[in-house]
Structure 1
Amino acid sequence: MNNSNPYTASSNNRNRLSGQLSTAGVVFMVVAAAAPLTVVNGNTPLAIGLGNGAMAPLGFAFASLVLFAFSVGFVAMTPYVKEAGAFFTYVGTGLGPRAGQATAFVALITYSAIQLGIYGFFGWAAADTVSNIGGPAIPWWLYAGAALVLVAALGYRNIELSSKVLAVALILEIGVVLVMNAAIAFEPSGSALTSLADIPATSSSTGPFGIAVLFSVTGFIGFEATAVFRDEARDPSRTIPRATYWAVFIIGGFYTLSCWFLVYAWGPDTVYGVANDYLNNGGNMVLDTARFYTGRVLTDIMEVLLLTSLVACILSFHNIVTRYQFVLANFDILPRFFAKSHALHGSPHISSLFQTATAIVLVTLCALSGASPLVGVFGSMAGIATVGMVILMLLTSVAAAVFFYRSPHLAPGRGVTTRLVPLIACLLLAFILYLVLSNFTQVTGLGVGISTVLALIPIAAFVIGLVAVRDRSMTQLAELSRVEPLPGREAG
């Protein structure tokens, strides 16, 4: 970590990771976690078919604006946060050690859940792809196991290797969607309808805007993890803010435009009915759209890249969780051996091995339970992660607003970006949390009872984090909120 920042107290007594990740490297890590091709294939048809039809791109645009508002406070606070670890270090700095520890518990549950969910999604997608080309029927968990081995090997090594692998995967998956979008742009609106034998009836009514927003927000999970790689960034004070804004811009723009092109492909008057037809009868709306506009070859490539997108997503979340565990061990919230780094690779190898072992256990339990990999595993875990992520961003925005309210001298003349915008972000994120909870069964695809239990898991993790107090960890976490005054100014 770059310790030249004159505004924060030193904390060199803790173990540090090292690396030379550039802004682009960090962006590749976090955008890959958002799995753009997976979101375009999954979330976009859901936002159209269950949400407000042809107006669904506005849901992605609104989500982008909310996350931009969140990023303003997040970035403004970054120079004053002394540790990697993203949410819990920000909340600990702004709201104190108890809130920081509670946030750490929520973060671990959230990222572990989404990683497990993606293993299920990958297993299902791989089995479906092999079946479609006439291959043997192999259980989903064997495909998930193969992905687990690859992720374990890459996660154990230097972070730059993961960054390079993710960069290639990300460029390919975004590129193939851009080719599809370009092909759509040169065809008349509604041309794709001719690819269906039976054109679904046009519906004059659509779903609520809130559903479109809900599925839009779930597509952004992972973008905020820029600060997790703080110690491995080349120049954290510049790299992390730049990477955060670029991540929001790239993901938000890509999702919004791709959703708009999908609407244009089928025609704004019929796309809601088409999306519902696909949701009710199966099939992949995006792959069929690509097949009509670009031909079979690009569609086959897209189907393969969907699998690499899921693996890239798993790898990104693996790296995020291992670094959370590494930092938590530095604060004695987890056992200290998690805070060891590899002598050659500079990676949190013990934490990585533990995360791999945890994934093996969880995937095995899911396989033994007989749960459906898509609805049972991915649906339930995505539900937990969605609630957890919105809670984490809400807490971080509150922490930023409180931090600068208590220390206005740290950013004189910047009240808009340090207090007003974070406050607006708090209100918007609270609204989104309401949307998520009130429409939670739409995310999980499960019944009300089990969905309620799943929604309570991140909340329970926060409560446990508040009450599971250890004096040593509280003392160390308290260091986060000690910020030195600007040179030549009083702390007042």
Structure 2
Amino acid sequence: MTAALIVPLMYSNTGAMSWLSYAVGTVMLLFVAFNLNQFAKRSSGTGSMYSYTSVGLGPSAGCMSGWCLIWAYLFIGIAGTTGFTIFAAKILAAMGINIEPVILFAVCLAGCFVLAYFDIKASTVVSLVLEAISVTLILILCLIVLGQHHFAIDTTQFSFSGFSWMNLGLGVVVAVFSLVGFESSTAFGEEAKDPTKTVPKSIIWSLIATGAFFVFVCYAEVLATNGYSTTLDKIDAPLSVMADLSKVSFLALPLCFGAMASFFALALSCMNAGARVMLAMGRHGIFHAATSKTHLKHETPHMALGVMAILMFVVVAASRIFFKFEVLDEFNDAGTMGAFGFIGAYVLVTLAAPFYLKKRGELKAVDVLWCVAALALLMIPAIGSVYPVPSAPVNFFPYIFLAYLLVGLVRIVALKVQAPERIKEIREKIHSQHAPDLLVPEA
């Protein structure tokens, strides 16, 4: 449901060709998904890309992947929290009630924690139902917009005249923010039924469906607001504006409810997925042993969930209280920051895939091609995030993320020096779970 807020940010980078960034982002991530599925269709378990990267490149690279994923789920979860807050505040304001955003942050994260704490199945069903409702409402609105334009093709969105290809890279970063999550099913290998079959299918089809949805919605939003007094990049509630322009204002309130519910689902899914990565890393000694514990009755990683919930609240509340960030700015910034974490993890798991297949004696030329193609496409957002230099504060984000990676690298090096037996334990545990017939490479 980031479509409710993210398209204006995309439009500020790529204008009328915003749909193209989503299309390129989808194709790029499909190549990543092909590499990810080399692992998913052969093994299952908790830890997702963290464990997969460890199998292919060794525990040290795996730890860096997990480090990236914690960052990614943390900040995308924060984006979900701020999105929930924006639309909850709009609904409450319509009722004459004004509440400080920090309180709404707490309500959202507390609700997510409670659902995730008691039952992964229930929390997953809640997420899917909320997303289905919001997606349906958006699609109805977009079809109304297209119908009022007689389903004519908007040629301005297919004209490359005046389009700056240099902005495509940052546009793809924004697209990654919207499209991430397709890989999250790999974090639930222990809970999934027949995971080596269901998880790979889920990865591919969820990405294709999400990519097609965002291309379509982006096209419709640009079409609907073309000629409007305020340009799309300056609109903070594009779906409400679309409803007004299409003379279906009665949809505005349901859309707000749908958006609020969907952003809640986003925060919930990130808390769940992040906690499961933390659970795996806790079991391997990277994080405190407490994060490796699961609830005796509910069998959920309650300690890791608590850590994720607290971190998400501290970051988002501190940004609001001490730095006076507007909630919409927190949403945009958190989404962009989170995208860097996913890009880092995608690069590592893509590199790991051919090494994994080679150890199994199954490497083919086409597998190398998938890897090279994915890495080449991942360079588009990687380079685009630093050149041309984005405006502040986005220009600082890549370097903040690199500093975070350096902290993770120091932690891993310290672990290898102070407790080399721990690295051996990580290797053996991942070996037993994901590749019992293979030797995990030395770190």
> 3-state DSSP class of the match of 1:254?
helix
TM-superposed CA distance for 1:246, in Å, is 1.5
Indicate yes or no: 2:422 matched with 1:459.
no
Unaligned runs of 5+ in 1: 1-36, 194-202, 487-492
Following the alignment from structure 1 to structure 2, what is the Cα–Cα distance between the partners of residues 210 and 403? 30
1:229 equivalent in structure 2: 188
Relative to structure 1, the CA distance from residue 320 to residue 342 in structure 2 (aligned partners, 3 Å threshold; closer, same or farther) is same
> 3-state DSSP class of the match of 1:51?
helix
TM-superposed CA distance for 1:462, in Å, is 4.4
1:47 equivalent in structure 2: 10
1:167 equivalent in structure 2: 128
**4+ residue stretches of structure 1 with deviation over 6 A?**
none
Following the alignment from structure 1 to structure 2, what is the Cα–Cα distance between the partners of residues 214 and 335? 32
Partners of 2:42 and 2:196 within 8 A in 1: no
Indicate yes or no: 2:93 matched with 1:109.
no
Relative to structure 1, the CA distance from residue 67 to residue 368 in structure 2 (aligned partners, 3 Å threshold; closer, same or farther) is same
Relative to structure 1, the CA distance from residue 433 to residue 180 in structure 2 (aligned partners, 3 Å threshold; closer, same or farther) is same
Partners of 1:410 and 1:485 within 8 A in 2: no
TM-superposed CA distance for 1:179, in Å, is 0.5
- Within the candidate set 28, 32, 40, 1:78 is matched to 40
Partners of 2:272 and 2:305 within 8 A in 1: yes
- Within the candidate set 93, 97, 102, 2:59 is matched to 97
Indicate yes or no: 2:241 matched with 1:279.
no
Partners of 2:84 and 2:260 within 8 A in 1: yes
1:423 equivalent in structure 2: 372
Relative to structure 1, the CA distance from residue 188 to residue 116 in structure 2 (aligned partners, 3 Å threshold; closer, same or farther) is closer
The C-alpha deviation readout for 1:420-474, integer Å capped at 9, x for no partner, is 11221011112221112336746xx6264x4454343443244335423242431
- Within the candidate set 285, 299, 309, 1:346 is matched to 299
Relative to structure 1, the CA distance from residue 210 to residue 108 in structure 2 (aligned partners, 3 Å threshold; closer, same or farther) is closer
The C-alpha deviation readout for 1:391-436, integer Å capped at 9, x for no partner, is 11011101112322x336235xx541x3211221011112221112
- Within the candidate set 244, 248, 256, 1:303 is matched to 256
Relative to structure 1, the CA distance from residue 80 to residue 188 in structure 2 (aligned partners, 3 Å threshold; closer, same or farther) is closer
Following the alignment from structure 1 to structure 2, what is the Cα–Cα distance between the partners of residues 459 and 376? 24
- Within the candidate set 295, 318, 327, 2:271 is matched to 318
Aligned residues: 424
Identity of aligned residues (%): 19
Following the alignment from structure 2 to structure 1, what is the Cα–Cα distance between the partners of residues 294 and 408? 28
Relative to structure 1, the CA distance from residue 116 to residue 216 in structure 2 (aligned partners, 3 Å threshold; closer, same or farther) is closer
TM-superposed CA distance for 1:302, in Å, is 0.5
Give the AA of the match of 1:158. D
Following the alignment from structure 1 to structure 2, what is the Cα–Cα distance between the partners of residues 302 and 244? 27
Give the AA of the match of 2:123. S
- Within the candidate set 178, 189, 195, 1:219 is matched to 178
Following the alignment from structure 2 to structure 1, what is the Cα–Cα distance between the partners of residues 394 and 251? 38
> 3-state DSSP class of the match of 1:438?
coil
Give the AA of the match of 1:277. T
2:162 equivalent in structure 1: 205
Indicate yes or no: 2:414 matched with 1:468.
yes
1:34 equivalent in structure 2: none
Indicate yes or no: 2:197 matched with 1:238.
yes
Of 366-375 and 255-264, the range deviating more from structure 2:
366-375
The C-alpha deviation readout for 1:287-318, integer Å capped at 9, x for no partner, is 21123326122121101211111111110111
Give the AA of the match of 2:217. S
TM-superposed CA distance for 1:149, in Å, is 1.7
Give the AA of the match of 1:387. F
> 3-state DSSP class of the match of 2:162?
coil
Of 424-433 and 181-190, the range deviating more from structure 2:
181-190
Indicate yes or no: 2:250 matched with 1:250.
no
Give the AA of the match of 2:359. S
Unaligned runs of 5+ in 2: 155-159, 439-443
Following the alignment from structure 2 to structure 1, what is the Cα–Cα distance between the partners of residues 242 and 43? 46
> 3-state DSSP class of the match of 1:101?
helix
Following the alignment from structure 1 to structure 2, what is the Cα–Cα distance between the partners of residues 242 and 45? 31
Partners of 2:11 and 2:233 within 8 A in 1: no
Following the alignment from structure 1 to structure 2, what is the Cα–Cα distance between the partners of residues 238 and 189? 42
Q: How does 1:59-70 map to 2 (within 5 A)?
A: 59-70=21-32
Following the alignment from structure 2 to structure 1, what is the Cα–Cα distance between the partners of residues 206 and 394? 34
2:348 equivalent in structure 1: 395
Give the AA of the match of 1:332. G
The C-alpha deviation readout for 1:10-65, integer Å capped at 9, x for no partner, is xxxxxxxxxxxxxxxxxxxxxxxxxxx22x22222332343041x32222111111
- Using the size of structure 2 for normalisation, the TM-score is 0.86
> RMSD between aligned alpha carbons?
2.8
